[in-house]
Amino acid sequence: MHGDFRSLLSVFITLVIATSSVKAFYIPGWSIKSYVDDEAIPLHVNKVYSDNTQLQFAYYDLPFVCPPSGKKHAGYASGRSVSLNLGEVLRGDRIMASDFDLAMGQDQECQYLCSYKVNRQAVKRTRQLIDDGYVAEWIVDNLPGATSFVTVDRTHKYYAAGFKIGFTDLSPVTMRPRYFLNNHFTLVVRWRRAPGRSGSRGGKVIVGFEVYTKSIEKAHRDSTGCPQDVHGDSDGLEMYITPNNTHLAHQYPSSSYLPEEDDIDDGATLTIPYSYSVYFREDESIDWSKRWDMYFNNQEDSNIIHWLAILNSIVICSLLTVIVAMVISRTYRQVYGKDGTSDEGKVLIKRKKPKTGTKSPRLREKAPSGLLEQKDEVDEDVSSDDEEYVEDNSGWKLLHGDIFRSPKHAAFLAPLIGSGTQFVFMATGLLMLSCFGVLNPSFRGGFVSVGIGLFIFAGIIAGYFSSRMYKTFGGMNWRKNTWMVTSTPIPLVECGADG
């Protein structure tokens, strides 16, 4: 007995120590990736997405970006896909290595990337993506490239993952929208000294990755392809090719109006030059374990609003609980009284006297001492034997008859109960893993992957509860019900409803 108690105590202490150490690092990020000076840092491109549409595209599938050259950068050949887990695939990630050169501590004022020619169809497609508000996502050290924002009162800064591929404005002449493509990228990598022995040896960790975009016309670039003034103002690169309406003029010579847009490919192209700048800045105010907080702390006022909403929900639930408890307590007291027993609600039923006129056995055993006493004893025996109180089960008391009655469609109710336990197990597991830090933003796609794994594992629990409830309802072929209903149709319907 004492040995079992000691073993349980040791297991509990181990769990407490493991839980307290979770704050020091992300799980599964057991080892912090540190870089020394001049060490190459890989930059991966992922995808483009928009809040205005559900369609996502791989970055290298866009018709206006520089195609991968295939050269190795930081040990990765550009254009090579990175292995993804199930959650990343389902969320639309398409992570690939890029041609960007980054080295820890080395600032680059400007680096020419490529010049890419696009035709009219590609220009039209680019304008559509810019109009839909598409955002590109790049990744450095598992951090998505972020757009930096500052609060209204300028008290703190926060991040928004991704950066816009372009922007629009109105032409001062025609008052029509113009579309500009961002073709110069300023990459700001924030770092701090690595903790522990790695930091004493000169190791550095990345705590922030910011991307600042700019549209620069080709005429404002030098012979190397870099902008003449990276930080100054310049005209943007408009995604526009002068329409060629020669064939339309020949086709409709008498028409006074010709459309400006022409979808016919006449070989006209637009050259898009790409360049980037890299800056490394030390930032000791951000811990590596809290570097993701910048992506979620967008406004301080929003936290206050969340707490007010939570407090409001708690107050409303408490009031409703008190009201329901008072109604139930009042109903109970009216029926059963303060002592828990009451004759109210009982019906008095009188039995009919038998026609045979037989005497009571008590009269035969006891000899009468007088006529008056004999009459009183007969009346008492008749009143006690011929009257009976029967409890009146009416109204809400009739519920006890429906509680243990087998349902009409038990073959479908039992699998639904089993699937419900399956979802409860999955939700509880995800919540516990998130609380312990196993599921965190650094584990890209982990929430979906682990959720699917828990759902599949919980199929055992769903089968048990489904078969158990089916047998409780009086079902005979519980194996067929478990395999034919619980394991296949119900999950398909649930997944279809979620999709």
Number of helices (H), then strands (E), in the chain: 14, 18
The pLDDT of residue 19: 44
Residue 296: alpha-carbon gap to chain centroid: 14
User: Can you name the residues that pair with 189 across neighbouring β-strands?
Assistant: 209, 280
pLDDT on residue 304: 60
Is it the case that residue 4 has pLDDT exceeding 70? no
Structure tokens at 199: 């930091």
Which range is least confidently modeled, 99-113, 191-205, 324-338?
324-338
Confidence of residue 101 (pLDDT cuts 50, 70, 90): very high
More confident residue, 329 or 347: 329
Run of H or E including 473 = none
Specify the pLDDT at position 338: 55
For residue 219, what pLDDT is reported?
Answer: 83
* pLDDT greater at residue 155 or residue 176: 176
Answering whether pTM is above 0.85, one says no
**AA identity, residue 304:** I
Return the SS3 of 114.
Answer: strand
CB 51 within 8 A of CB 464: no
Separation of alpha carbons 146 and 15, rounded Å: 36
Nearest to 272 by CA among 145, 212, 170, 184: 184
What pLDDT shows up at residue 80?
92
DSSP 412-463: HHHHHHHHHHHHHHHHHHHHHHHHTTSS-TTSTTHHHHHHHHHHHHTHHHHH
**Beta-carbon neighbour count of residue 144 at 10 Å?**
22
The pLDDT, as a whole number, for residue 310 is 84
Top-confidence residue, 350 or 85: 85
For residue 22, the model assigns a pLDDT of: 42
Pairing of strands 270-282, 184-193: parallel
* In the predicted structure, residue 28 carries a pLDDT above the cut 50: no
pLDDT at position 175? 84
Task: Kindly report, residue by residue over 7-23, the tens digit of the pLDDT.
Answer: 544 554 554 444 444 44
**pLDDT winner (highest mean) among 158-167, 306-315, 386-395, 404-413:** 158-167
Q: CA dihedral defined by 97, 100, 105, 107, rounded to 10 degrees?
A: -170
Helix, strand, coil share of the chain (percent; to 5): 40, 20, 40
Residue 365 scores a pLDDT above 50: no
Whether pLDDT at 250 is above 70: no
pLDDT of residue 9: 47
Q: Give the least confident one: 24-33, 121-130, 230-239.
A: 24-33
Closest to 184 in 3D by CA, of 291, 310, 92, 274 = 274
What tens digit of pLDDT does each residue of 152-167 get? Answer: 777 788 899 999 999 9
The kind and range of the H/E element at 352 are none
Distance CA 499, CA 497 (A): 5
pLDDT at 439: 86
Residue 311 to residues 157, 306, 319, 323, Cα–Cα distance (Å): 27, 9, 12, 19
Look at residue 392 in the predicted model and tell me its pLDDT: 55
489 against 243, higher pLDDT: 243
At 375, is the pLDDT very low, low, confident or very high (cuts 50, 70, 90)? very low
| pLDDT score of 382 more than 50 | no
Whether 316 has a pLDDT exceeding 50, the answer reads yes
pLDDT at res. 478:
73
Residue 251, classed as helix, strand or coil, is helix
> Alpha-carbon torsion 307, 312, 313, 318, what sign?
positive
Strand partners, 188: 210, 279
pLDDT at 372 over 50: no
Tell me the mean pLDDT in the region 330-343. 65
Query: Averaged over 258-272, what is the pLDDT?
Result: 73
Q: What residues contact 237, with CB distance under 8 A and at least 6 apart?
A: 180, 181, 183, 215, 216, 217, 218, 272
| Token pair for 378 | 């007969």
- Whether the per-residue pLDDT at 380 is higher than 90: the answer is no
Give 60's Cβ-side CA count (13 Å radius): 18
Instruction: Tell me the average pLDDT across 27-31.
Output: 51
Give the per-residue pLDDT at 364: 44
Measured CA to CA, the distance from residue 191 to residue 288 in angstroms comes to 9
153-184 burial by CB neighbour count: b if 16+ within 10 A, else e?
eeeeebbeebbbbbeeeeeeeeeeebbbbbbb
- Write down the pLDDT at residue 5: 45
Average pLDDT over the chain reads 79
Mean pLDDT of 216-243: 85
- CA–CA gap between residue 91 and residue 114 (Å, rounded): 30
